[in-house]
Structure 1
Amino acid sequence: MPIWKRNLLVCWFGMFVTGVGMSQIAPVLPLYIKQLGVNNPASIAELSGIAFGITFIISAVFSPIWGLAADKFGRKPMLLRASLGMALVIGCMGFAQNVYVLIALRLLQGVITGYGTACTTLIATQTDKEHAGYALGTLSTASIAGSLLGPTIGGFIAENLGLQNTFFVTGAMMLIAFISTALFVKESFAREHKKTLRMKEVWSVVPEKSLTITLFVTFFILTVALYSVEPIITVYVSQLSKNATHIALLAGITFSASGLANIVAAPRLGKLSDKIGAHKVILISLIAAGLIFIPQAFVTNPWQLMGLRFLLGLAAGGLIPSVNILVKKITPAAITGRVFGFTMSAGYLGIFGGSVMGGQVAAWFGLRYVFFITGALLLINAGWVYLKLYKKMGLMNGREEYE
């Protein structure tokens, strides 16, 4: 097996488990906080929000820092640090004696993250050009699928094995990722700059600043769109189901449908990006995703919603790999880790922002307006991408249209 394929396989598993570890706590948080001694419903809701959101906010801050470390010391050391650290921290959550220890561990989890940044940088820099789209497309399915399937996996483990075992099982999976990384990931790393560039110096050597900002914003809007329904999905499915049972299961499947579709679509659309250009795939995917959001407001049963969420995942599957391909192509190798770190920060902020936006829009305007506003955001972003990215890419060198 070629080295790039072996690296891709190990990184995919590690990023999937990391995604699960970041999000699996969502459905079990209120129950676990109650088990830790908090009985007031308002306090449970407040502390659940803090415990869930703090990991993503702190991750957004530290992701570029770990990207800098990856550029300085190599990507494999960062993979080993993040996977072992998360294995220990997530496992310790199962031993938390009170809710404040749990929140502190969630904060620490955000600090030590960086597995996804190091993986993306490793695959982008160690994979030959003709396979880059496929590799980055395949890798992109891991994080998003792990994040979207995490709540369902966490809920299943909690229901069948107990709340504490949710953390123990996830920690054990991260330990397996650590061992696999140590044994099988190969990296030829040569640091290109002896001097560590400061943040202002990094930005000064980014050749395509406008394109880079456009890609950051696109990644942010995508994750906002995928997670805007998280606060409302159970209530919406309950309304659509009327007297149906297993509402939680139906809601979990509905939320995760886009993640399953993403696994199917992203590698294929990554290959397509190599052939026709990533800028074309981004534009088409944004328009398709925006349009697919709108009919979700008019469905009459959960199965229709599941089908549209699956179609959304197929459309969104073209976005993350295309963003990563373009980031790689327009970024000097010496600062690739830091730029990918900022991309991951945009994603973490999008997860948090999408969850907050969905809840606020639903509270002020109603559940169905979440779909209207999210669809509009994607279509507005498509227009911006066309003006700022698509046209510029079309004017670039015909033989190497991205360079």
Structure 2
Amino acid sequence: MAYTLSVPFFPLFLHQDLGLTSGLEAWAGVSISISFLISGLCAPFWGSLADKYGSKPMLVRSGVGLAAAHLANYFVYDLFTFILVRIFQGLMAGFSPASVTLVGTNTPDKHVGYALGVISTSTAAGGIIGPLAGGILSQWVGLRGCFIASGVITLISAVIVLGVKEVREKRSGARPSVLQDLKRAAATPRLLRIYGLILVVSVSVLVLEPLLTIFVVQLGADESNAMLSAGIVFSAVGVATVLTGSRWGRIGGKIGYGKTLIIGLIGGGLGNLLQAVVSHLAGFAMLRFGYGLFFAAVYPALNALIVQHADADFRGRAVSLSQTASQLGIVIGPLLGGFLGGWIGIPLVFLLTGIALLGSAWYVQASGFDRPQIARARQENRETLSNIVKNDSSGPS
């Protein structure tokens, strides 16, 4: 919630508070991508420290650092300093992965699925509440006040972690390197195709992040109420995902996850095509909600397909590699979207993402991910798949 309370409104902050008038889309994309890029580069280092000292210290480290970054934004008055703060925020990132690791390794096996499901639901709830709360709060205290709120929330989270008891287990043997995992994944071409799809899907989602708030203003929202209007638009997809994510998981268990993936990609692609030609704010919000109803099927299906196609002793690491593909998309998406939005216009970006998703649907159909042997694997791994679907219905955050 602390993230979505302020980050979706970066374009308005750049324009209204920092006085940026040209290249707004591009700089909004840079400001979002730079943090994820630095976070991805630092992730192995923080991960090694977590292995050595535990996840709890990493949670506290990240929580305090992120809180400082959010609070620092309150005092930013030029673009260069803002980018520096975003770089620092990337250095301090890692709160969500560390929290998942802490819960997963300190929860009894029979309750792990439920505990991770709670985290997934909480993440989705934050994605819904954050933009709405940020939009409402900005009416009272302005954009800078949202940064203060984000910092306080993050700091409170870090303080709460101090009261958590972590039980650490000694690792047996050396853990395979990422390079070894990549080589093993390369031996299964279908896994590589799924990772490619995850990259495309992640880019299609994040390419729009620096543009949505600007597009809301272009559709006629008054700048004084733009944050509230943008908050509603951002939350629409989250609401739709919460309503239908688990249902798509059950449908996939019956008809095949390849089929639900195709349905989700087609629905998401058509939704983006329609958003390219919308001319009213209310219609745009409704289309975002409709897009979310279908797109909620995509990430659970992709993760379930990874479990189906990976060997039993490689499934956990195969899913972890999918997060690498997703993170790459999270870095590329905002940067690409920012430059494309300023070059060809935002409607054409919606058009391109729609075509990309429809092309992905055709590729999935042509590749035949749900063949008979996969159906047998689905039956054997029903319990594992249900946990994956439950925990990943909200996509990247």
Partner of 2:232: 253
Q: Amino acid of the residue matched to residue 165 of structure 1?
A: G
Distance across 2 between alignment mates of 1:395 and 1:352: 36
For normalisation by structure 1, the TM-score amounts to 0.73
With over 3 angstroms needed to count, the CA separation of the structure-2 counterparts of 1:234 and 1:202, relative to structure 1, is closer
With over 3 angstroms needed to count, the CA separation of the structure-2 counterparts of 1:46 and 1:234, relative to structure 1, is closer
Aligned-residue Cα RMSD (Å) equals 4.2
Give the paired residue count: 380
Distance across 2 between alignment mates of 1:364 and 1:353: 16
CA offsets per residue over residues 197-248 of structure 1, 9 Å max, x none? 4332343455975454344333333332233334544554455449999455
Alignment of 1:17 with 2:2, yes or no, is yes
Uncovered stretches (5+) of structure 2, i.e. residues with no partner: 386-397
Alignment of 1:33 with 2:18, yes or no, is yes
Contact (CA 8 Å) 1:296, 1:371: kept in 2 or not?
A: yes
CA offsets per residue over residues 247-295 of structure 1, 9 Å max, x none? 5543442243212322333344456566766555434322322232222
Alignment of 1:222 with 2:201, yes or no, is yes
Contact (CA 8 Å) 2:18, 2:77: kept in 1 or not?
A: no
Contact (CA 8 Å) 2:11, 2:24: kept in 1 or not?
A: no
Partner of 1:199: 178
With over 3 angstroms needed to count, the CA separation of the structure-2 counterparts of 1:327 and 1:115, relative to structure 1, is farther
Distance across 1 between alignment mates of 2:240 and 2:253: 20
With over 3 angstroms needed to count, the CA separation of the structure-2 counterparts of 1:168 and 1:301, relative to structure 1, is closer
After superposition, where does 1:81-160 map in structure 2 within 5 Å?
A: 81-96=61-76, 99-121=79-101, 126=107, 132=113, 139-140=119-120, 142-143=122-123, 146=126, 153-154=133-134, 156-160=136-140
Alignment of 1:350 with 2:329, yes or no, is yes
After superposition, where does 1:37-76 map in structure 2 within 5 Å?
A: 41-42=21-22, 49-67=29-47, 69-70=49-50, 74-76=54-56
Identity %: 28
Uncovered stretches (5+) of structure 1, i.e. residues with no partner: 1-15, 35-39
Report how far residue 111 of structure 1 moved: 1.8
Q: Amino acid of the residue matched to residue 82 of structure 1?
A: S
Report how far residue 192 of structure 1 moved: 3.6
For normalisation by structure 2, the TM-score amounts to 0.74
With over 3 angstroms needed to count, the CA separation of the structure-2 counterparts of 1:368 and 1:230, relative to structure 1, is same
Instruction: Give the one of 370, 374, 382 matched to 1:393.
Output: 374
With over 3 angstroms needed to count, the CA separation of the structure-2 counterparts of 1:92 and 1:397, relative to structure 1, is closer
Instruction: Give the one of 47, 54, 60 matched to 1:80.
Output: 60
Distance across 2 between alignment mates of 1:248 and 1:24: 7
CA offsets per residue over residues 90-122 of structure 1, 9 Å max, x none? 223334576544322211211221222234445
Instruction: Give the one of 247, 255, 269 matched to 1:290.
Output: 269
SS at match of 2:276: helix
Partner of 1:3: none
Distance across 1 between alignment mates of 2:376 and 2:332: 34
SS at match of 1:190: coil
Q: Amino acid of the residue matched to residue 151 of structure 2?
A: G
Partner of 1:179: 159
Report how far residue 155 of structure 1 moved: 5.0
Contact (CA 8 Å) 1:67, 1:117: kept in 2 or not?
A: no
Q: Amino acid of the residue matched to residue 96 of structure 2?
A: G
With over 3 angstroms needed to count, the CA separation of the structure-2 counterparts of 1:286 and 1:299, relative to structure 1, is same
Contact (CA 8 Å) 1:23, 1:150: kept in 2 or not?
A: no
Distance across 1 between alignment mates of 2:222 and 2:62: 45
Distance across 2 between alignment mates of 1:295 and 1:124: 40
